Chain A
Amino acid sequence: MTNKDEIKVEGATVPVYTYEKDGITYYEFDTSELGPPEPMVNALSVLNLIDSSNKRAVMINHKKPMGLFDKISDRFDYKVEELNGKYRIEFWLKESK
């Protein structure tokens, strides 16, 4: 079981948790109970923390955030997985896959 610590992120309106796995630091947050634009506000706030190849953000949302993808796809790559009717989206810096 991975230990998750809650951290304070400027601009985020939901709790953000951090944990390490395979040498990568993850920042995880859940916006599945939030309506637009809060998922994007939280995602953009957390993505500010991703400044190196060993950091990744994990977003849990009720839908695929297509508008967000448009906004960040020049800087980040991402993958989407379906998770019990919700979506888990993992972001990392481009060229650091």
Chain B
Amino acid sequence: MRLVGNLATQFAPPFSLVLHYFLGGFIFNLISMASLYFYAGSFEPPFISFSYAFLAHTFLIGSVMTIIFGALYQLIPVALEVPVFSFFLGYVQFYAHLIGLLIFLFSLFSRNLYVMLVGAVILLISFLIFSFNFFMSIRGLKSFNTTAKFLFFATVSLIIGVFIGVFMVFNFVFGFYSGSIENLVYAHIIFTLFGFVFMVIMGVSMVLLPMFSLSHKFRDIYINLSFFVMMISVFGGGFVSFFFGSSPVYYSVFLMIISALFLYLLQVYEIYTKRARRLKDTGIDTMFMSHFFILIFIISVILTPFSEKFVFISGFSLIFGFINLLIYGSMYKILPFLTWFHRFSNLVGKKKVPMLNDMLPERLPSYQIVLSSAGVILLLIYLLVPVNFLFYISVIFLVVGSSMYLYINIYVLRFRLEE
């Protein structure tokens, strides 16, 4: 038996802290989709370029990581049952993150390496603030559950990946490194995208998917296996790529990563089949369905030796397909809940309070998900069959989808009870 009570510390973060991150993430999501327009007729090798780096960082740091940080400030107490060390540091991190990112993106756009150095260092500081806050938050944790293990090593991986990124930028300016830049880029991608973003998603999914789908008593063998394969892939594969990278090495590391992702998919399927309630729900349905894009990623990674087209297909299916749709779906569950908690939880027992679905506009979230999914699928087809018409339609779908997403989330935030 465990006695809990007399909470001396506030667990839930201030609503405004999470909103800072979420609103920033929504706006960068729209900017990323709109900036796709300027890539018409491109997506040709080599994929290592400032031009693609601009798109990748706008989306991954601007939209994905901004939302991840906001979500983590909310989820650390829920998932790990420990209070966040400092919400004040959360605000400081947000402004450092935003300023660093804007400077960094401007430098990629203008190709100004000195400005890039400033942006990269400020971003590094913001990531270190998060890491310090995270490690201080979990310092009293007695046992590490699956989510805690994923988040711990994800944060370690973030630090390594970001230092590699900053090392790269210092080298662009001062030119002291004689090794392969490709090795640095691959190691940077492995540690930040797979080590941080993906391991956070895997760990947090083990809380959010069962919580929102009411799935209990599922076996967790696949996620535990996936964790070990992911650890070897990221920490083993990342350092091997850094020091001894070559095409066969990168390919082998990616084969290991897709093995880990396949095990993760099996775990998600296990949770899906153990749902207690099987009602239609746009948010949770989208969260589950987004995982189909991981299958496309797995197949396209296997096919990369046959054509460089598959490098782009794998990248877009994973980032704009899986990660983007997963976040869209999650937000239709998380934001209504946070708004409800902030605005309506005090009215329980005094007034009739809305349920989460009441706070979303009718049908619009489903239309948005269909439009954005169609946009990604058209983009993937365009990468196989480069017909510009397909590209422009896909960009229109993605931009309109992202605008609808912004509108729906603002609708949720402004939701009030009728007097």
Residues of A within 8 A of B (CB): 10-11, 32-38, 40-41, 44-45, 48, 62-64, 66-67, 69-71, 73, 77-82, 85-86
Contacts and interface: CB of A to CB of B under 8 A. Distances in A.
A70 B356 CA distance: 20
A32 B211 CA distance: 10
A37 B78 CA distance: 14
A70 B211 contact: no
A35 B214 contact: yes
B212 interface: yes
Contact of A41 (B1, B12, B277, B353): B353
3 tightest Cβ-Cβ pairs between the two chains A and B: A44-B348, A77-B5, A73-B7
A85 B214 CA distance: 13
A37 B212 CA distance: 10
B3 interface: yes
Given A48-B349, A64-B81, A86 B216 contact: yes
Contacts of B341: 37, 40, 67
Interface residues of B, number: 34
B143 interface: no
Interface string B205-245: 00000111110110000000000000000000000000000
B417 interface: no
Contacts of A63: 211
B211 A35 contact: yes
Given A66-B11, A78-B4, A79-B3, A36 B353 contact: no
A81 B3 CA distance: 8
Contacts, number: 87
Contact of A37 (B213, B277, B340): B340
B276 interface: yes
A64 B352 CA distance: 25
Given A33-B276, A35-B211, A71 B345 contact: yes
B216 A85 contact: yes
B7 A70 contact: yes
Contacts of A79: 1-5
A34 B217 CA distance: 15
Contact of A32 (B213, B216, B349, B352): B216
A16 B2 CA distance: 24
B259 to A, nearest CB: 29
B78 A73 contact: no
B337 interface: yes
B10 interface: yes
